[in-house]
Amino acid sequence: MRRHLAALRVNALLVTFLPHVRYLTGFSGSNACCIITQSAAGLITDGRYKTQAREEVHGYRIFIATKSLFQELKTRKLIGRSARVGYNPAALRVTELENLKVLYPSARFVKVRNFIDDLAAVKDETEIGQIRKAVAISDAVFRSVLSVIKPGVSELDVAAEIVYQHRRRGAEADAFEPIVASGVRGALPHARATSKRIARGELVTLDFGCRYEGYHSDVTRTVAVGNPASKLRRIYAAVHKAQQNAVEAARPGMKGSDLDAVARKSIAASGFARFFPHSLGHGLGLQVHESPRLSALSTDVLQEGHVVTIEPGIYVPGVGGVRIEDDVVIRKTGTEVLTTASKDLIIL
């Protein structure tokens, strides 16, 4: 971090985005910021988190604000009067910046590139272990929830079971609201679970994940309830092949756009090119969606230690859809797939 400060020609970096605060300090509360200079590092939070901060944070001075976080910065003189202070413009509201300028009229607040995302994207083995645990929980949930999926059961019933099973198996929370889309609703990539009841012969897409020790899983599987029509089987086979091709192709040094193209080319060869409307995947860690991006427009370059999702899909209006998603570690010579749930078409 301090090497970056020197390169950016700033005296301090103010971090306000909570996932970045957690990455840098270990603090998991809901109200905090941190300030890093060449000689000091401080975490500022409020009185609700006094004990928690002392348990979670090491290597930072901890300050408990009696008023606002930024007022505590001023009171404690954590920023020099005429300092150049770097900040991420995507993580600081205009009103907050105006408040800082009032508190520090002689300081200069400088927009800096969001390099913390790049640092956080490369996971060490401890972080990968936390993601591995989150994925294992979601894998177990998938196997458990299969017994619930049957004709007459609503999408909301299945979503509720996913939420319950995540907690029961040790997750802190869901990574996001589970997606359960059956039948023609499977053609909606981000369908929310509804009261629709699952019917025989339909495909059901399940997209879900959990948080464990701050780190996330993100898994998608599509299953059949009874024998699906031949077109649905072809769609499933096309997605399965594209997903496997992309997993096998991923490697360090590869652009996100090039990996996206591997899956897109495979789906195009199956005749479904226009039915794959979203990107191939995204980074995964303390955020569900983080760097690197795997899309047709991405210039991100895969590195050893990146953890990404690989999730192609085909969505045909009036027919249905299929998505298959794994969580994958980019290793020196290829990939390690963390997700163990079967990707063969499961017919319930």
pLDDT at 103 over 90: yes
> Taking residues 288-317, what's their average pLDDT?
98
> Taking residues 239-262, what's their average pLDDT?
98
pLDDT at 81 over 90: no
Higher pLDDT, 39 or 304: 304
Read off the pLDDT band of 102 (50, 70, 90): very high
Backbone angles phi, psi at 13, to 5 degrees: -125, 125
pLDDT at 270 over 90: yes
Report yes or no on whether pTM surpasses 0.85.
yes
> Taking residues 233-247, what's their average pLDDT?
98
- So what's the pLDDT on residue 36? 95
* CATH of range 122-337; options 3.90.230.10, 3.30.70.100, 3.40.50.300, 2.60.120.10: 3.90.230.10
Looking up tokens 């009032």 gives: 102
**Nearest of 318, 312, 150, 154 to residue 223 by alpha carbon:** 150
- What is the per-residue pLDDT across 158-201, written as a single tens digit (0 to 9) for each? 999 999 999 999 999 999 999 999 999 999 999 999 999 999 99
pLDDT at 294 over 90: yes
> Taking residues 148-164, what's their average pLDDT?
98
> Taking residues 135-161, what's their average pLDDT?
98
Q: SS3 string of the chain?
A: CHHHHHHHCCCEEEECCHHHHHHHHCCCCCCEEEEEECCCEEEEEEHHHHHHHHHHCCCCEEEEECCCHHHHHHHCCCCCCCCEEEECHHHCCHHHHHHHHHHCCCCEEEECCCHHHHHHHECCHHHHHHHHHHHHHHHHHHHHHCCCCCCCCEHHHHHHHHHHHHHHCCCCEECCCCEEEEHHHHHCCCCCCCCCECCCCEEEEEEECEEECCEECCEEEEEEECCCCHHHHHHHHHHHHHHHHHHHHCCCCCEHHHHHHHHHHHHHHCCCHHHCCCCCEEECCCCCCEEEEECCCCCCECCCCEEEEECCEEEECCCEEEECEEEEEEECCEEEECCCCCCCCCEC
> Taking residues 65-78, what's their average pLDDT?
94
Q: Are 225 and 183 in contact (CB under 8 A)?
A: no
CA dihedral 74, 80, 85, 87 (to 10 degrees): -20
For the chain, the domains span: 2-120, 122-337
- So what's the pLDDT on residue 113? 87
* CATH of range 2-120; options 3.40.350.10, 3.40.47.10, 3.30.70.260, 3.40.50.150: 3.40.350.10
Read off the pLDDT band of 75 (50, 70, 90): very high
Output the average pLDDT for the chain. Answer: 97
